[in-house]
Amino acid sequence: DKANNSEVRAENQTTKFADVHGATEAKDELQELVDFLRNPDKFSTLGGKLPKGILLVGPPGTGKTLLARAVAGEAGVPFFYMSGSEFDEVYVGVGAKRVRDLFTSAKSKSPAIIFIDELDAIGGKRNARDASYVKQTLNQLLTELDGFEQNSGVIIIAATNFPEALDKALTRPGRFDRHVTVSLPDVRGRIDILKHHAKKIKAAPEINFEAIAASTSGLSGAELENIVNQAAVRASRLKETAVTMRDFEWAKDKVIMGAERKTDKAQKIRDDYRDLAAGRLTVAIVPDIARED
């Protein structure tokens, strides 16, 4: 049942651009989508031409999904959400049908937004080893992208953390040919994000968000939110009456250490691949030497 229903339910979004902190440039770029969705006919009459597919590109935790929801919320249109990893998850091989259903539902409710998260999960580079159903899902997505007009009132937004992993066919003109970068927040953005999440907790008046922001360069919005949450958890555990700067410092160190571990892990995976490649070469060469003796 989940496979039949999950992809065709539209969500009505209440998220607005004001709820998205630290992504000013991306918001500015996405404003034209909002203008179009609010009044597709007027936009078309003026000769405006939108890309069919917009790809939000950026590291994990930078707010790509939140931005897509905010476009729908600002425009007041239905939002059809699907994660790339879900397409073939429930029943293997139904991915192509789910893509079809997703587009059919969105067209029937236009103007609307289709949002595909983790596009690389279905749109990764194809190779001979891929199961045929994975290729079918991707091919169906390409067919749908090619099969409808820009002025149909449906905007397709997708997000990926790994643009380099995408099949080239997806980023050709007329498909996902507009890329919007959602960067890690700068210091101003980090202050805004920290203050936004701190509204939900009882923070002591002496909290210096500028100092915390200055020492958290390279952290994502999700990691900054985690700092606020961890600080509140510690204050509660220590039975404090408010969350103090000491709690924030402790939480910051904990989250930064976790972020560094994640980076180390990613590097280790890359190193393992390199060793494996080297190992393969050794295996390939040694038997030849042995045979010559």
pLDDT at residue 1, rounded to an integer: 38
Right CATH number for 2-181 from 3.40.640.10, 3.20.20.150, 3.40.50.300, 3.30.1020.10? 3.40.50.300
pLDDT at residue 120, rounded to an integer: 84
| Under-50 pLDDT residues of the chain | 1-7, 280-293
pLDDT at residue 51, rounded to an integer: 72
Right CATH number for 185-293 from 3.90.1150.10, 3.30.830.10, 3.60.90.10, 1.10.8.60? 1.10.8.60
Q: Locate CATH 1.10.8.60 in the chain.
A: 185-293
This prediction's pTM: 0.76
Q: Locate CATH 3.40.50.300 in the chain.
A: 2-181
pLDDT at residue 182, rounded to an integer: 92
Q: Give the three-state DSSP class for 80.
A: strand
As a whole number of angstroms, the longest Cα–Cα distance in the chain is: 80
Nearest residue to 232 via CA among 243, 224, 241: 243
pLDDT at residue 288, rounded to an integer: 40
pLDDT in tens, 197-218: 999 999 999 999 999 999 999 9
pLDDT at residue 278, rounded to an integer: 58
The first and second tokens of residue 231, run together, are 């600080």
